[in-house]
Amino acid sequence: MIPLYSTLQVREVDNYAINQLTIPGIILMENAAIQIFNHSIKKFEKMQLFVNKIGFVCGKGNNGGDGFAVARHFSNYGFTVIVIYTGKEEEFSADAALNFNILKKLSAENKKIKLTKYSTVKDLNPLYKCEVIFDAILGTGSKGSLKLPYSEIIDNLNKIKCYKIAIDIPTGLNPDTGDGENIFRSDFTISLAELKKGLFFGNGKLNSGDTVIGNIGLNVDYFNRLSVNEFLIEPEDALGCLPKKTKNINKYSSGKVFTIAGSVSLPGAAILTSISTLKIGAGASVLFFPKSAKKFIHKRFLEIVVQDYQDNNTGFLSEKNIEEINNRIDWADVIAIGPGLGRNEKTQDAIIRVIKNRNKKRMVIDADAIFALSKERYKKLDLNNCTLTPHYGEFANLIGISVSDLQKDILKFGRDFSLETGSYLVLKGSPTIIFTPSGDALINTSGNPGMAKFGTGDVLTGILSGLIAQQSSIESSLISGVYLHSLSADLLLKDYTEYSFTAEDIINNIAKTIKFLRNSIA
C-alpha cells in the first residue's frame, strides 16, 4: 500500500531537514523545481502536447517560490513564460524572494520572461494564449474558503481552456480533508516531498488530476518513521489479499453465505447479490426470499439456491420469519443482509432482530439494512465483525448529518464510526474508502464513472460476502473485493463505454479480472 501524509507530517520532515540536517530551504526549493520541471516535460511528451507559452500564477509564500524557480528552468530551455504574482515583493518569504529576484533580473535580459503583478482580473488575459498554466499560489497553505484576490483568480483560471498543473496542491483544496469550494481544476498535480491524503478523495480527487510525487531531496526513510493511517490500495494488495484455494476443499469448506435480500418490489437486488457470492468463489450460497415472489428468481438464475419463506403474499420480510433465519445463521459463515428488502416497518424491525441474533457471525450490512440502523439505532447493537457498505447519502443519514457536512471531513466521520462501533465501513463513492476498527483508511484506486448505476452496490455486497466467507481476515477480503469490483468495471471499458455497461456485466467479468490481475503482476 502507498502511505499518505498530512500537511503537518510533511512540514515536520521539512523542518527536520532544515533545522537538524542543516539543508538550506532554498536547496529544497531548487530540488523541488527540478522535479516539477522534469515531471512536466515527461507529461508533455507522453501527451504529445505542443507547448510554447507557459503561464505561472505565483503567491507570496514558498509555493510561489517554487513557481518562480520552475519558471526559470522553463525559460532556460527556451520556453516563453508569463508569470503573474500576487502580493507585494516585500511580503514574499525569504526563499520566494530570492527566486523572484533571480527571475526579475533574467527578465531584463530575456524577452521571453514576462513578469506582472496581479491587480485586476485583466492581468490574467495573457494566460489565455498559454498552452499550459501552473498554479503556485497557496499550496498547502490553503485552508477554508478562498478570499479575494485568490477566489477571483481561481474563478478565472478555471475558465481558461488549456492544460493545467498544480504545484504541490491545487489552490483552494484542503490537503487534509479533501474539502474545498473554489478549487483550481488541475489536470496534473505534483505533490512535493510525499503524497498528501486530501488529493485522493472528495474534491481532491475531482480537482487534482493525475498525481505524482516531486522529491525534494529527502530519503523516504524519513517519512517511514512517521505513523500513517491512510493508504492507497495497489493492485499487488488486491491480489495478495485474495483467499487461497487448497486442493482438498469442498463446496461447504470454501465458504457458506446466507443472503437475506429482495422483496416483491425489488427482486433484482437479491439476484445480483446472491450470484456475486458464487462468482467470487464462495462454495455455498443460499438466498432467503419471499415465497410469493420466488418465480422472479428461478426463471433466470438456476444457480441460486433459494430458501423461500412464508410471507402471506405481502412480498416482504417480517419478524415472523426470524426462527427460520436463526436456523440458517448457525449454518452460514457470513450473512449478507439488506439489498432490496424494502423499508416496510415490519421488515425494518426484523432486520434489527436479525442483527441482534447473529451470534457474532460475520455480517455484511447494506442498503435497506443500513436504513434500519439509522436514527442512532446502531449504537444499541454489537457491530463487531460486521461490515457496513453505505454510499454517502446512506452513511450521512445513518450518523445523522447532511451529505455536505460529511464531505467536509470524510476521513474523520468514517474513522470515528468504525472506532466507535468496532465495525468495518466500506464507504462507497469515488473513490470507495475502507475504514477499519483499528483506525486505518484504505482508499481504492480503481473504478470509473460508469459504476454509478443501480445494482453495482448489490454486486459489491455479494463479492465482499463471498470473500469474507472464504478466509479469516475481513480486512483482506475488503481490500480484494473493493479493488476487483472496480477493476472489473475498468476492464469493461475496452469493449463498452462508461454509459453502457451494467452491474451484471461487472460480475460476469470478474473471472477475467482476476486473471488479468494475476498476469499483470506475475
Domain span at residue 253 reads 235-240+248-521
Is pLDDT at 246 greater than 90 in this prediction? no
DSSP string, 291-325: GGGTHHHHTT-TT-EEEEE--TTS-S--GGGHHHH
Helix crossing, 392-399 with 410-421: angle to 10°?
Answer: 60
If asked whether residues 35 and 121 sit together in one domain, one would say: yes
- Taking the C-alpha atoms of residue 99 and residue 486, their distance in angstroms, rounded to an integer, is 45
Say if CB 85 and CB 138 are below 8 A apart.
no
- Taking the C-alpha atoms of residue 116 and residue 93, their distance in angstroms, rounded to an integer, is 18
Residues forming beta bridges with residue 286, ordered by sequence position:
258, 305
Could you tell me the end-to-end alpha-carbon distance of the chain, in angstroms, rounded to an integer?
18
Phi first, then psi: what are they for 98, rounded to 5°?
A: -60, -45
Say if CB 173 and CB 408 are below 8 A apart.
no
Using alpha carbons only, how large is the chain's radius of gyration in Å?
Answer: 27
If asked whether residues 308 and 392 sit together in one domain, one would say: yes
How confident is the prediction for the chain on average, in pLDDT?
A: 94
Q: In this structure, which long-range contacts are made by residues 499-502, counting pairs with CB atoms below 8 Å and at least 24 apart in sequence?
A: 499/450, 500/450, 501/450, 502/453, 502/455
Say if CB 52 and CB 127 are below 8 A apart.
no
pLDDT of residue 298: 62
Which has more pLDDT, 342 or 143?
342
pLDDT of residue 355: 96
If asked whether residues 319 and 353 sit together in one domain, one would say: yes
Residue where one domain finishes, among candidates 228, 257, 291: 228
pLDDT digits (tens, 9 = 90+) for 99-112: 999 999 999 999 99
Considering the chain, what percentage of its residues have pLDDT values greater than 90?
Answer: 86
C-alpha torsion angle, residues 144, 148, 152, 153 (rounded to 10): -90
Task: Using pLDDT thresholds of 50, 70 and 90, give the confidence band for residue 302.
Answer: low
- Taking the C-alpha atoms of residue 253 and residue 242, their distance in angstroms, rounded to an integer, is 16
Task: Using pLDDT thresholds of 50, 70 and 90, give the confidence band for residue 301.
Answer: low
Residue where one domain finishes, among candidates 199, 228, 257: 228
Choose among 161, 160, 139, 137: nearest CA to 150.
Answer: 137
Reading phi first (left if > 0) and then psi (alpha if -120 to 50, else beta), residue 224 is in alpha
If asked whether residues 202 and 281 sit together in one domain, one would say: no
If asked whether residues 212 and 348 sit together in one domain, one would say: no
pLDDT digits (tens, 9 = 90+) for 155-192: 999 999 999 999 999 999 999 999 998 999 999 999 99
pLDDT of residue 484: 98
pLDDT (average), residues 360-368: 97
pLDDT digits (tens, 9 = 90+) for 27-63: 999 999 999 999 999 999 999 999 999 999 999 999 9
Helix crossing, 25-47 with 7-19: angle to 10°?
Answer: 130
Number of domains making up the chain: 2
pLDDT of residue 245: 83
pLDDT of residue 299: 59
If asked whether residues 153 and 219 sit together in one domain, one would say: yes
If asked whether residues 302 and 207 sit together in one domain, one would say: no
Does the reported pTM lie above 0.75? yes
The CATH code of the domain that includes 274 is 3.40.1190.20
If asked whether residues 286 and 425 sit together in one domain, one would say: yes
If asked whether residues 217 and 280 sit together in one domain, one would say: no
Which has more pLDDT, 302 or 504?
504
pLDDT of residue 247: 78
Choose among 344, 345, 347: nearest CA to 322.
Answer: 347
Is pLDDT at 303 greater than 90 in this prediction? no
Phi first, then psi: what are they for 57, rounded to 5°?
A: -115, 115
What residues have CB less than 8 Å from 169, skipping those under 6 apart?
63, 138, 139, 140, 142, 175, 189, 191, 196, 198, 199
Which parts of 406-465 are beta strand (E)?
424-427, 433-435, 441-443
Q: In this structure, which long-range contacts are made by residues 102-106, counting pairs with CB atoms below 8 Å and at least 24 apart in sequence?
A: 102/68, 102/72, 103/68, 103/71, 103/72, 103/75, 106/72, 106/75
Phi first, then psi: what are they for 383, rounded to 5°?
A: -110, 15
374-403: burial string, b at 16+ Cβ within 10 Å, e else: beeebeeeebebbbbbbbbebbbbbbeeee
- Taking the C-alpha atoms of residue 166 and residue 162, their distance in angstroms, rounded to an integer, is 13
If asked whether residues 210 and 314 sit together in one domain, one would say: no
The CATH code of the domain that includes 121 is 3.40.50.10260
pLDDT of residue 33: 97
If asked whether residues 461 and 402 sit together in one domain, one would say: yes
What residues have CB less than 8 Å from 302, skipping those under 6 apart?
none
pLDDT of residue 143: 73
The cell numbers describing 520, all together, are: 499483470
What residues have CB less than 8 Å from 274, skipping those under 6 apart?
259, 261, 285, 287, 301, 304, 462
pLDDT (average), residues 439-459: 97
If asked whether residues 189 and 108 sit together in one domain, one would say: yes
Choose among 339, 286, 288, 280: nearest CA to 471.
Answer: 280
Least confident span in 23-37, 241-255, 420-434, 462-476: 241-255
